[in-house]
Amino acid sequence: DYILLHGKSSRLQKRMLYEDRIASHLSGGIELKKNLATFKVFAKTNTETLRQRSQKAIFDEIDKLKSDFISENELNKAKNMFKRDYLDQFTTLAEKGIFLTKFHLSRKKNASYMEEALAIFRF
């Protein structure tokens, strides 16, 4: 989802908001529920034609991910944004509390979970 949605240089943001100008706002991401993951994209458009073009652009970019390699530069940018967002959840006391609550309620009860999570992405 970072390659497609996060940041002005992400594929969907660049294409839909800046190049084709077919949407005025994009949001979404991966939603995890139990053992299922869903990728959701929300695009704000003004007309039915723009909605159809937005839908086509979203599926086109997903199809490109299936068939084309991701450049090392683009992958590194996405990894760095992920790391920044992950670490941002520890910047205030409220965010730390939310993280600790989610951690406590999750199945991941070992103390080294955070280090293991970052290690997966080779940070």
**Distance separating alpha carbons of residues 50 and 11, to the nearest angstrom:** 18
Collapsed DSSP state (helix, strand, coil) of residue 43:
strand
pTM exceeds 0.85, yes or no = no
- Return the pLDDT at 123: 47
Higher pLDDT, 111 or 15: 15
Q: Which of 10-19, 66-75, 91-100, 114-123 has the lowest mean pLDDT?
A: 114-123
pLDDT, tens only, 54-65 = 999 999 999 999
Collapsed DSSP state (helix, strand, coil) of residue 16:
helix
Collapsed DSSP state (helix, strand, coil) of residue 120:
helix
- Return the pLDDT at 100: 74
**Distance separating alpha carbons of residues 78 and 65, to the nearest angstrom:** 14
pLDDT, tens only, 56-111 = 999 999 999 999 999 999 999 999 998 888 888 778 888 878 877 777 777 665 65
Half-sphere exposure at residue 107, Cβ-oriented, CA atoms within 13 angstroms: 3
Q: How far, in whole angstroms, is CA 98 from its chain's centroid? A: 20
Q: What is the DSSP string of 93-112?
A: HHHHHHHHHHHHHSS---TT
